[in-house]
């Protein structure tokens, strides 16, 4: 998954450095974990809708 995110970001924003892209992907993964934890307390959370 990280390779896909890295490839997408480097293709979308070619001026970003690798360190910025890895930091952004780490923040994105933390956000996804936070949404998953939030979903445990809120069963109505639609993960497919949040992922888009």
Predicted pLDDT of residue 36: 81
Question: Model confidence over 8-51: pLDDT tens digits?
Answer: 766 776 676 778 878 888 998 999 888 887 776 665 556 656 65
Q: Report the C-alpha gap between 52 and 20 in whole angstroms.
A: 22
pTM of the entire structure? 0.42
DSSP helix/strand/coil, 42: coil
Range of the domain at 42: 2-51
Distance from the first to the final alpha carbon of the chain: 16
Count of structural domains within the chain:
1
Q: Report the C-alpha gap between 11 and 31 in whole angstroms.
A: 22
């Amino acid at each position: 998954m990280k390779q896909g995110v890295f490839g997408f970001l480097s293709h979308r924003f070619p001026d970003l450095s690798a360190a910025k892209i890895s930091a952004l992907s780490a923040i994105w993964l933390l956000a996804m974990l936070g949404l998953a934890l939030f979903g445990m307390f809120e069963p109505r959370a639609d993960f497919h809708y949040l992922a888009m």
